[in-house]
A and B are shown apart, each in its own frame.
Chain A
Amino acid sequence: KAGVTQTPRYLIKTRGQQVTLSCSPISGHRSVSWYQQTPGQGLQFLFEYFSETQRNKGNFPGRFSGRQFSNSRSEMNVSTLELGDSALYLCASSLVGSPTDTQYFGPGTRLTVL
C-alpha cells in the first residue's frame, strides 16, 4: 500500500506570495490533517478534513486554509506569506480521523519564505 505523499517536497517563496501544498492520503483513508512543524513551536495542528468538510481547526490565522476533494486528496493554501511561515508542513491521513485510528504522516513539504 502506498504511503501518504506530499508535493512539492521543497518550496522557496518570498514574503507576500501565496503557496499551495498538496497531500494524497493512503487509499481508503478519508481523514486528512495538516500540521506545521518549526524548531521553536514543535508540531502544531492546523486543520482536519473529513469527507470534504473541515471538521477541526487549530489556532492559525485565516491566511491558512485548506480543502479536500471527493477522492480525499487535500490541499493547503497559505496566502500573504510571512517569514514566520517558514516551516515543515506535514499532512497525516487516517481511516476516519478517530483518535484511536493510526495517523500516517507524509514526508512533509519544507517551505522557506525569504
Chain B
Amino acid sequence: SQKIEQNSEALNIQEGKTATLTCNYTNYSPAYLQWYRQDPGRGPVFLLLIRENEKEKRKERLKVTFDTTLKQSLFHITASQPADSATYLCALVPSGTYKYIFGTGTRLKVLA
C-alpha cells in the first residue's frame, strides 16, 4: 500500500542545534516533494519545494534533501530557535497528478 511516514514522536532539541526531520514514502513515484510548517490553530505554511531530479535545496536556515532511491526526504533546520517550534509536514505530488499526499507531521519543540 502507499504510505508516507514522518517521525510520529515529537522531537525536542536544544536551541542552536540542528533539527533533522524525516519523511519516508513507499509505493509512490513523486515528481515533487514539499515541506510545510503548521502552528496550532492555523493552516500549513509552505516552506520548500524539491523536484525529483534535485538532491538538495536550501533557503536561509532550512535545507531539504531528496533521495528517490532511499525514498526519503530529510528536512534540516540549522541554528534552531524556540520560534521554530511547530509541526512540520511533508507532502508529495505523484508523477502525473496534481494531488498532494501529506504525511502526518512531526511536532518539533526547540528548548531555550
Interface of A with B (CB < 8 Å)? Answer: 4, 33, 35, 41-45, 48, 55-56, 58, 90, 92, 97-100, 102-108
Contacts and interface: CB of A to CB of B under 8 A. Distances in A.
A92 B99 CA distance: 12
Interface string B50-71: 0000000000000000000000
21 contacts: A4-B43, A43-B89, A43-B102, A43-B105, A45-B100, A45-B102, A48-B98, A56-B99, A90-B44, A99-B31, A99-B34, A99-B49, A99-B98, A99-B100, A100-B32, A104-B46, A106-B43, A107-B41, A107-B42, A107-B43, A108-B43
Most chain A beta-carbon neighbours within 10 Å: one of B41, B46, B91, B98: B98
B43 A55 contact: no
Interface in B64-91: 89, 91
B43 A56 contact: no
- Among B43, B93, B101, chain A packs the most CB atoms within 10 A around the CB of B43
Contacts of A58: 99
A26 to B, nearest CB: 12
B104 A99 contact: no
B46 A56 contact: no
A97 B41 CA distance: 25
Contact of A33 (B97, B100, B104): B100
B45 interface: yes
Contacts, number: 54
Contacts of B105: 42-43
Contact of B98 (A56, A90, A107): A56
Contacts of B89: 42-43
A56 B93 CA distance: 12
B102 A42 contact: yes
A63 B102 CA distance: 22
Contacts of B49: 99-100
Given A99-B32, A107-B41, A44 B102 contact: yes
Contacts of B98: 48, 55-56, 97-99
Contact of B101 (A45, A90, A104): A45
